[in-house]
Each structure stands twice: as structure tokens, then as C-alpha cells.
Amino acid sequence: MAQTQRPLVIQSQFVRQFCPQNARRAPGPLFARIRQQRQLSTAAVTDGDISRLASLPLHPLTLADLVKHGRPPLTTPQLLQSANFTLSILPARLAHRIQSLRNLPFIVVSNPHISKIHSNYIHSLSTLLPWAERDICTLEQEVNFTEVMADLVNTHANTISILARGFLEARKYISPKDVTRFLDEHLRARIGTRLIAEQHLALHFSSQPHAELMHESVQSEGWNGVIDTALRPATIVEHCANVVGEICELKYGVRPHIVVNGEPDYAFAHVPVHLEYIITELLKNAFRATLESGQEREPIEVTIAPLPKDISDGQEGESGLEGRPRVKNVEQGTTDIVSNRWTGNIPSAPSSSQILPLAHSTPGVTIRIRDRGGGISPETLPHIWDYSFTTFNEDKASSTLSGRSSNMDALSAISGPGGDGANSLAGLGYGLPLGRAYAEYFGGGIAIQSLWGWGTDVYLSLRGVGNVEDDNWLHRYHRDTSADME
């Protein structure tokens, strides 16, 4: 069996970001073991492996999947169940992404950046294949599998920025429409893949058996893996405003100030790193507009309001039980249309082509960000959801690739989730479309109303997980969802 030469390190940054309940712990025996630079077992990935796995239907991810193994600290059987669930769905997801990359025009895949992403997916699949034909039955196997998950997360940390550079360099050989179609599917699928791996990593660190190895008690403090069950949006808003404000003050000598009103004490269950990215992107736009229009004395108003329990997002006029919004698999990147886009063989959606958030009108939140920054010009407004680099002219593309873009300012350099470093996405116009992907992934959304010459209102809506303290909620969810599918 081949051995990869990549060293494995689970960095403290990951632990702080996705396992905040463990962030302040001193390294114990488990951390010492996982931080070893050890080799991972790999298997050669053949075209037959990719074709076989890519032919499997993709599992549409719900928030129920992330919390169904129980509340931390997990017992040994629950932890093994989480590992086997993760293993059951990741190989097919990776194979579908490899297939979609291979079905791009050959000259595009030959670009070194896009080729690197293809190689990264091949590598990650090669580390999963040795596990694919067996169950994870012991804690020793679970520890080894968790190392594979950490390697997967680290390997794909910069996928977004690398793809952006690749498509920018290959812009002569693929249309902006096809790039947008590919990225919409690929980036949404990436959200789910990372969430699945990160959830198991977080559950691993907060499990009972590994707490015993570390000779410490586990205090989950309201967390279920990567989900904060008592997430206060106001706290995220204030943190993001401080980060963006400090950058503004350092670069421009002044910062706008924000006013948080509505229900700042409201809390619900969601993935905080997603909300943090979305809020950062929206505040960057509001702060920039405010500064550029000379309205820094006008406050940016952030209103937090619970989402009405009986509201439906009305996607294409369809709603589920009790007015719950339906989320289509295509919006999660799980119908894999792009894999067959250039062959003309577009697969039909599976029978479960629409999934539901959790049962009984799960709680959510609406956040309005209002600025007096002059609004969005009529010429720009139709393109705010575009990946802006797809419309670059030659001069702008060349300046961006060489790092001389006027858009590459301090605000653009703030990094987002998933490990993309500072400056990696600067000037490429990924902020809003990627933020919308995170918002829509579990049935939320972003709406923008602009008054040209005055300012802009942005409405962010998110659906939560539900009452995870109720031991019966998951059974009700599966019961109601099964009945709705009949």
C-alpha cells in the first residue's frame, strides 16, 4: 500500500475555530499523538474507482445529519457511528468533484492551478479508499480515520482562491457562463464536504473516550461539533465589526461605527463560522461604501429579528410541511449537473431532490444591515451576484494576476472560512456570491435593496437547527420528512 509523504498536523487554529470548547486546553496525549508527522495509508485511485463512486447518488446534507449522533460528549458507539457516517458519504462526493473537473475543457484542466485542485481531490480520495470497504469498529481505527479527515481539511484549505486564479488565467478558453455554473455547484458541494469532515473532527475532540485519554472532563458549553446551539448573532456582528473596523482605521485612519438593535440577545443554533464569513463580507461592503461616500459619521445600523416560525421562503412557490421551506439539492451542488455539462448527459434529480430543514418550523434569524453609503449604481446592481473576475477585461485581469489591482485593498484582503489566506481572494469578486452560497445552503438567503444616492439595506435570513436539547426532535424530523416524501 502506497504511503503519502505529506506530514499531518492538526493546527491549533483549526481547534480554536471548529472546537472552541477545546481551545484553551493544554496539549494532552491525544493532541501529542495526532500532531505527529506520520504517514497516511493510501491506495492508487483508478479511473474505474472514480467512475464507480461518481455513479453513486450524492447524499444531500441537512443540519440533522450533523447532530444526529447525539449531544457531546459522544460515547464510543456514537463516535464510531459518526466516523462510519462520514466515511459512507465522502468518497462519492470527492469522486463527483473529480469527474466535474475532468469534464471541463481539457485546456482549462491543464491550467496548473486547476490541475492542482484535481490532484488534491485525487490525493484525498486515495487516503479514503483504504477505508472504503470496511467499518470503523475500534477507537484505534477512529483515531487513524480522524487523521485522514484532518488531512482532507488541510489539503483543501485554499481551494477557492486556487480555482479563482486558475479560471482567471484560463478565461480565454471557457465562457463566463460556464465558469459561473461550475463554481456555483462546486463551491456549494465543497461547503457540505468540509462540514462533514469538520463535524467529525469536532465531535472527536469532544468525545468521552478521548477525554479519558486526555484525563480531562469535556465541557461542550452548548456546542454540538461545529454547531453552536446558543449562537448570538449580535456577538458575531460585534466581532466582525471590530475586525473590519480595525482594518479601516489602520488603512484609512477612520472607521464607521455600528448600532445593533432589534433583539441583540436572541440566540439560535447554527454554524458560527458560516455566519461570521457572511457578516464580514456584508460589513466590508457597508464600511467601504460609507467611507467612500464620506458618510463615516452616519452609523451603520444592524437589526436582529427572529425569523417568524411560520415563514416560508417560497422558493419557486413550493413549501413543505407547516410552511417549511424546501431546499433543492441543486442548491447544495448535489445533483452534479456540471459533471455531464460538456457531454450533454444531464442526470435527472434523485427522488429526494428536495430536502427540508428540521421539523416543526425551526427557529431562525433575519439580520438587516443598513448603511448610508450612497447605494449601488444601476449599472452595478445587476452584477452584484456575479463572480466579478469572469467579466474582467485584459488590463484588469493582468493587474489582478500581478497583484496590482486597485481592488486589492485592505478590506479585500480579509480572509474568509475554509483557510483561504489573506490576499488570496482580493480583487476577485468572490465575496457576495460565496456569502450567498453559505446563506442558502440550509434554506436561508440574502436580499438587497438599494436606493441610489442614499444607501443600501441588506437582509440576511438563516434557518437554525432547532431544539437540539429535545431528545425526540430528530425522530420527529425523520418521521415528518419520510411522510412528506411519500
Query: What does the angle CA 465 – CA 241 – CA 63 come to, to the nearest 5 degrees?
Result: 10
The DSSP symbol for 131 reads G
Q: What pLDDT is stored for residue 110 in this prediction?
A: 96
Percent of the chain having pLDDT more than 70? 66
Q: What pLDDT is stored for residue 98 in this prediction?
A: 96
DSSP per residue, 136-155? --SHHHHHHHHHHHHHHHHH
Q: Which amino acid is at 330?
A: V
Q: CA torsion, points 11, 13, 16, 18, in degrees to nearest 10?
A: -80
Parse the chain into domains and list their residue ranges.
12-224, 227-324+359-485
CB 34 within 8 A of CB 147: yes
CATH architecture of 12-224: Up-down Bundle (1.20)
More confident residue, 213 or 42: 42
Q: Closest by alpha carbon to 325, among 353, 351, 361?
A: 361
CB 39 within 8 A of CB 170: no
The yes-or-no verdict on residue 239 having pLDDT over 70 is yes
Q: What pLDDT is stored for residue 109 in this prediction?
A: 95
Q: How far apart are CA 89 and CA 66, in angstroms?
A: 13
Range from 92-101, 165-174, 209-218, 430-439 carrying the lowest mean pLDDT: 209-218
Tell me the mean pLDDT in the region 153-158. Answer: 91
CA 311 to chain centre: 24
- The residue behind cell 452584477 is 383
Q: What pLDDT is stored for residue 38 in this prediction?
A: 61
The yes-or-no verdict on residue 21 having pLDDT over 60 is no
Q: How confident is the model at residue 399 (pLDDT cuts 50, 70, 90)?
A: low
- For the stretch 292-340, pLDDT in tens is 899 989 999 999 999 776 544 443 333 333 344 455 655 666 665 554 5
- For the stretch 34-48, pLDDT in tens is 444 467 888 899 999
Range from 11-20, 30-39, 213-222 carrying the lowest mean pLDDT: 11-20
CB 117 within 8 A of CB 162: yes
Q: How confident is the model at residue 280 (pLDDT cuts 50, 70, 90)?
A: very high
Q: Which CATH number fits domain 227-324+359-485: 3.30.565.10, 3.40.50.10800, 3.40.50.1860, 3.90.280.10?
A: 3.30.565.10
Q: Closest by alpha carbon to 284, among 180, 409, 179?
A: 409
The yes-or-no verdict on residue 384 having pLDDT over 70 is yes
Tell me the mean pLDDT in the region 387-406. Answer: 60
